Structure 1
């Protein structure tokens, strides 16, 4: 498949998925029949996502270890890590503020006039939050076994092991060292080639994912919750403008080049609501943009755990929408506390299924908000998830490119970084 045709075919898959889903929903005959039909579509999507997950662990390991070995200095890793975390925290704060501001401005939940007392029987959250805590998250970061971490695609655990392995490899410069590094580099190339094979099935996987969601929910759901969905997507567009604006400050006009390069991973993330499906193509796009592998292979996996801009906005929207639906007035101080709480609790999202929903479910009782309110948004979560996942890809791509741009072409030891290219076609790649 020619790469320039992939975005067009994915877009066609989205349109056909909507049409097929609508037809199946209309002619299914019953809700159970619609679910049975959707299960066949879901099977195709699951197969595609399984193929993607098959790639993630070895690709993260190979690119990250190769990048660290090429850095040759823990100071480089520390410098890049500090810049990355500073960007991640700033982006998270901006995302939450935009989300809080828009949901207060438009008040999508006002007028529903729900009574929490009438929903006591439904107050059990439809997701499991029992294992969600800061203590569990911190201990979960460190793998018991690299085999277990890779089997479960625990990206943060793989990053931790890869850091140890990369530093150890860089510190053992004996006979055979270059052979090991070369083998790891070749492994990365092989995994990228496998990615090309898997991506050939992307339009089919996208078609099935969209068709499954529409078959069970129907287009009517989009009309019923149209106000919330439209306002959330408006917030996403504003956040994109802010992210690209910030990227323009550091990258100049080349940020638009980056935007064109990441069209494929954005479409994949949007249509499948899976960040994992976009990871290999995002890495490939950043390499084409000119980001050194030693930087992108470190910052991008880190961003998948700590830089989830779209998810942060979703959480702000969801919590405020639920409060408005139940006529619960939150003061500015309470909203500020919610914002700060989300800043902390959201960092435990890595490795948690339906992570954003779990964070919302865990945060609601902290502020005496009815957990039953989560049922209001579960039905449309698929459509909100598509937007927030695509936004996470945009945020991580720009963050990685900016941090790569700030790195000099020569490391602190004075060795030339042969894996890097000139980042901005219109500007020299100097330290920002």
Structure 2
């Protein structure tokens, strides 16, 4: 824009607005420029002199474009009253004031608009009438800009406070997560130690090999209702109890422990195997009316391999023969807490050298909600691992069975194998 001279404020204001529009200044920058130019020029108009306005784009070393708006007043700088202008300008002693505003990057270069050299006669005649309106508009605009400045400052302050708060909350969250993780680990360790203390120690019996695998439904609460017990009876036979108490967690653990302790006592007292399930119900039901548990009992003669089984609503035992055949050993019966509890009979069989007996809870075969399909997979898995070291078998079988888990549950797998005689002697 070439310099133009103005004698009255209305024409000057129109020229500034045109400059803002042509150079696409943001509204808040344009408003500040308009107020600052108007207030600076007012001193020159009050003194009876004209002002000269020019605008030119400039490029700076960092690649930015600036709009330089220069007002020539011809007055001493001190008399211009520049204090408190919405947009600070750079003044020279000869009364020239320049404002520099950043322009948006990537925009097409604007073409300067034609600006009248001075106000039209109509504008000159109405100059006085405009003064009151301009003063009112300037006041409103100043108030709005002041409010914008206040809100902007407040917004920056709130953003800083929010950033500090978020940082503090995040740090606290991380600390709480770390604390909770330590508590979970400690809790799990205590429960595992408690579980190990409650479960029976390994037994060593000539002619038989034993191993067991247990996994809880919830790894953070490693106790549950799946329990086992094994012991050598005074007559030299091995007694094994497998229990699955209803529910999960500590309450089911208590029920399972009560069942195994009652069964152990009855077995040591010499009660017949076929009566133990019913008698255990009779002992526990008065003290725990809500108890419900399935139970499988096994008696094995280490010398002859004679096997006897009693069942109370529990999944059947699986035997994998040394010759590669397999079968489920079914015994009908009802569990503890069920109507008419007890084993209907005792199944008798024989474990030959190399035969593998697998006792388990339903969490092993029902992880996919189809017990028939689970039993078929169990036969396949047990047969595949039957010749491995016995202490590896239960874990390997559980891993096969739980490649897909649709119904998480406590899982117990117990393996008993009759050892082969390396010398082939009877």
Q: Structure 1 length as normaliser, TM-score?
A: 0.19
More helix by share: 1
- Which structure has more relative contact order (CA 8 Å, sep 6+)? It is 1
Q: Which has the larger radius of gyration?
A: 2
More strand by share: 2
Q: Structure 2 length as normaliser, TM-score?
A: 0.20
